């Protein structure tokens, strides 16, 4: 089955700097890669996703890049703000009209230092 590895497990950056979180996946058939943000006591919230037919996607301060050949994808947050502090999870999914279960990485705890 699919296996997703995520690094780093913790990340601290100065407010205003950029943060990068990286994930690798094992199943080359996976074609959808979402990123979720989880704040304390809440469920994961989708912040951005990318499908395998594109290499990059941006949404304001957040971007995701995908390298299908190397089977890795990354989350980039620019101009970080204190409210970006949370745990971020990457995931991979094979969409096959059936069970679209997500396989998650183990999470990155991002701390923005004011």
Question: Footprint of another protein on this chain (CB under 8 A)?
Answer: 4, 6, 31-32, 34, 36, 41-46, 49, 51, 89, 91, 93, 95-107
For another protein, which is the closer residue by CB, 3 or 18? 3
What is the rounded distance in angstroms from the CA atom of residue 52 to the CA atom of residue 32? 6
Torsion 53-84-22-40 (CA) sign: negative
Answer whether 61's CB lies under 8 Å from 75's CB: no
Closest approach of another protein to the CB of residue 50, in Å? 11
Closest approach of another protein to the CB of residue 101, in Å? 4
For another protein, which is the closer residue by CB, 14 or 106? 106
Answer whether 35's CB lies under 8 Å from 4's CB: no
Closest approach of another protein to the CB of residue 51, in Å? 5
For another protein, which is the closer residue by CB, 74 or 78? 74
Say if strands 62-67 and 72-77 run parallel, antiparallel, or are unpaired: antiparallel
């Amino acid at each position: 089955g699919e296996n997703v590895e995520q690094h780093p497990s913790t990340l601290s950056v100065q407010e205003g700097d950029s943060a990068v979180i990286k994930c690798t996946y094992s199943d080359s058939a996976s074609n959808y890669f979402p990123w979720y943000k989880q704040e304390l006591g809440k469920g994961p919230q989708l912040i951005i996703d990318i499908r395998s037919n594109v290499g990059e996607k941006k949404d304001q301060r957040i971007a995701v890049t995908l390298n299908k050949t190397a089977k890795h994808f990354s989350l980039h947050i620019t101009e970080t703000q204190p409210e970006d502090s949370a745990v971020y999870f990457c995931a991979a999914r094979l969409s096959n009209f059936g069970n679209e279960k997500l396989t998650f990485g183990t999470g990155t705890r991002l701390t923005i230092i004011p």
